[in-house]
Amino acid sequence: MGDIDVMVREVGLRDGLQLVKDFFPTADKLAWIEAEAAAGVREIEVTSLVPPRLAPQFVDAEEVARRALAIPGLTVTALIPNLKGAERGFALGVHKMNFVMSVSRTHNLKNVRREREVSLADLKRIVEARNALAAAKRPLIAGGLSTALGCSYEGRVPVEDVRRYAAAYAAIGVDEVMVADTVGYGDPAQVRAVFKAVLAEVGRIPVGAHFHDTRGTGLANVAAALDCGVRAFDATLAGLGGCPYAPGASGNVVMDDLVFMLDSMGLRTGVDLEKLLAVRRILERNLAGTELHGALARAGLPRNYVPAAARA
Amino acid sequence: MGDIDVMVREVGLRDGLQLVKDFFPTADKLAWIEAEAAAGVREIEVTSLVPPRLAPQFVDAEEVARRALAIPGLTVTALIPNLKGAERGFALGVHKMNFVMSVSRTHNLKNVRREREVSLADLKRIVEARNALAAAKRPLIAGGLSTALGCSYEGRVPVEDVRRYAAAYAAIGVDEVMVADTVGYGDPAQVRAVFKAVLAEVGRIPVGAHFHDTRGTGLANVAAALDCGVRAFDATLAGLGGCPYAPGASGNVVMDDLVFMLDSMGLRTGVDLEKLLAVRRILERNLAGTELHGALARAGLPRNYVPAAARA
């Protein structure tokens, strides 16, 4: 990663907006993407390539992705639920596609309406289809392991199950494994156990982390994953997102607080905190009925704060 | 600690209420103390022995302390700013007194209006006065190092300064050192550096941690201190507390979220989470104008959650 130590990735336009009922105007989605890219965020999941009839919020997926792809230096990613979504992603030329499968059977059935083995077979076809493209047109494919730290239907999820599906992803040929605490059940001890198992299993494939802050442990889990060697974290500006089964609960890890913690630890993210905080205004003017989270936005930076990149 | 692994200590009646302008009724302070003790919290800082004319919230200090002392099994502690406060504590018979001094000069001058050397000389007199009491009447004395992870006037605080004052506390003869991130500037890397230095310095004297969640890093800092071997943490129910210079900012680490994280990690605190969450109602009915924090209270426990003490 060269001049940065940790990659922070904005997923609010997908994981955050998917629960927002009112359509977030396309122009403001683009303003959000552009402002965060200008603040130094280098990878943004800009949309979800689910069928628009299932998710009207993403009816503008093609336009958002195309215009995001025009931003220099930005890695544009999109969520894909299946091969059909992947084909839309191939056509758009997104840089990376994030495939999702839940480690827990019930959650996968509820979320993508199929058995995990069917998800894996679909991922295999997606990777094969990607490999058949001309080299310059091949996007990266990340395999997301949802509910890896707990499931709202099944409760605790065995580490062995996470390990097994990480191994399956590696065998299929994903370029990255994303371990996700979809419902915010994780704690730092569990994070260590799960990430150690996954890292040992997948070898040199990069492993990223996607935490939710549903029960307050989001940043503690980030710190634990950092200790394990993880260097890529998903987050959402103002902690947008949440859980359809826990109204009012906090959502994804707050991007602004995440960047502050990492930067304070001396880990360069490439992100300018003041510029990042200013992007919240785009959310404020569009999400009047949605609670925005974030401790840094309320408290401000510490006195005489020196960003990691400016330290001796 | 026998049947528990980590001691969690409620400081909301002092650190939380000291910023609350409306008087919190004595009867409800006692209801709060009794309900938390019944939920399994074993140590509560029940009041502040500052001059009542400076802090009308604590005009009932004697009554609160006396009635708390009647609760079987509860360790009753009180904050003391100076020898005069200590003498009130001796008369009451509290079990432990928490002396405070800020590591940063400016903060100590603003908070207790004296130089740090004057604070240390006063602490020496307090410890001597305590030692002169009959053995059965001697309270423990904890030495708090405020602003140990940053100062709202001076910014970063050198680890060397924290180490030096921890050494001074040990030389004076405190029974415990409390390292406090008074203004919520800390991050997990800094926590490791500071606690390692303090633990190496004070030897076998117990070292506890008092974190604020002002910038979202509270529980991450707890996890980092746990890694260093710290086994005693201050917190406030619903994260009561805050910072007079950052209106709306979050306050102390949220007790309910802290207990959840520790318990989820398999660390027994002795606290029943459901009973603890129910105590929030006493705060809700008295603090209509104060924002109550806490992720667990919104999201609820994970499905099929098994408390640490009930695991095989």
Query: Could you identify the residue written with the tokens 């894909």?
Result: A80
Please check whether residue B182 lies inside any domain of the structure. Answer: yes
Q: Which chain A residues have a beta carbon less than 8 Å from that of B291? A: none
Please check whether residue A2 lies inside any domain of the structure. Answer: no
The one catalytic residue in B223, B243, B261, B301 is B243
Answer yes or no: do B298 and A151 touch at CB < 8 A.
no
Q: Which chain A residues have a beta carbon less than 8 Å from that of B295? A: 184, 213-216, 249-250
Please check whether residue B270 lies inside any domain of the structure. Answer: yes
The greatest distance separating any two alpha carbons of chain A, rounded to the nearest whole angstrom, comes to 54
Supply B204's token pair.
């076998």
pLDDT of res. B246: 63
Mean pLDDT by 10 residues, chain A (312 residues): 93 94 96 98 98 94 98 98 97 98 96 96 98 97 97 96 98 98 96 98 96 97 98 97 71 97 98 98 94 94 96 82
Q: Measured between CB atoms, which of A190, A223, A295 is closest to B188? A: A223
Q: How many domains does chain B have?
A: 1
Answer yes or no: do B250 and A216 touch at CB < 8 A.
no
| pTM (global) more than 0.95 | yes
pLDDT of res. A179: 98
Q: How would DSSP label each residue in A50-115?
A: S-TTT-GGGTTHHHHHHHHTTSTTPEEEEEESSHHHHHHHHHHT-SEEEEEEESSHHHHHHHHSS-
Please tell me the distance from the alpha carbon of residue B135 to that of residue B88, in angstroms, as a whole number.
18
Q: Measured between CB atoms, which of B183, B216, B265 is closest to A261? A: B216
**Which region, left, alpha or beta, applies to residue B73 given φ > 0 means left and ψ of -120 to 50 means alpha?**
left
Please tell me the distance from the alpha carbon of residue B209 to that of residue B232, in angstroms, as a whole number.
6
CB atoms within 10 A of CB B106: 13
Q: List the CATH number of the domain containing B285.
A: 3.20.20.70
Please check whether residue B1 lies inside any domain of the structure. Answer: no
Please check whether residue B261 lies inside any domain of the structure. Answer: yes
pLDDT of res. A289: 84
Contact between A242 and A225 under an 8 Å Cβ cutoff? The reply is: no
Please check whether residue B2 lies inside any domain of the structure. Answer: no
- CA-nearest residue to A253 within chain B is B216
Length of chain B: 312
Please check whether residue B235 lies inside any domain of the structure. Answer: yes
Contact between A255 and A8 under an 8 Å Cβ cutoff? The reply is: yes
Answer yes or no: do B261 and A217 touch at CB < 8 A.
yes
Give catalytic status of residue B151 as yes or no.
no
pLDDT of res. B203: 86
Q: Measured between CB atoms, which of B188, B219, B249 is closest to A298? A: B249
Query: Can you list the residues of chain B whose pLDDT is less than 50?
Result: none
Contact between A162 and A145 under an 8 Å Cβ cutoff? The reply is: yes
pLDDT of res. A72: 97
For residue B129, give its domain range: 7-310
Answer yes or no: do B216 and A294 touch at CB < 8 A.
yes
- Pairing type for strands A176-181 and A207-211 reads parallel
Q: Which chain A residues have a beta carbon less than 8 Å from that of B308? A: none
- The sign of the dihedral angle between the CA atoms of B121, B122, B125, B127 is negative
Please check whether residue A70 lies inside any domain of the structure. Answer: yes
Answer yes or no: do A246 and B185 touch at CB < 8 A.
no
Please tell me the distance from the alpha carbon of residue B215 to that of residue B250, in angstroms, as a whole number.
8
Please give the torsion angle defined by the CA atoms of residues A82, A83, A85 and A86, in that order, rounded to the nearest 10 degrees.
Answer: 120
Please give the torsion angle defined by the CA atoms of residues A301, B21, B100 and A304, in that order, rounded to the nearest 10 degrees.
Answer: 10
Please tell me the distance from the alpha carbon of residue A278 to that of residue B311, in angstroms, as a whole number.
46
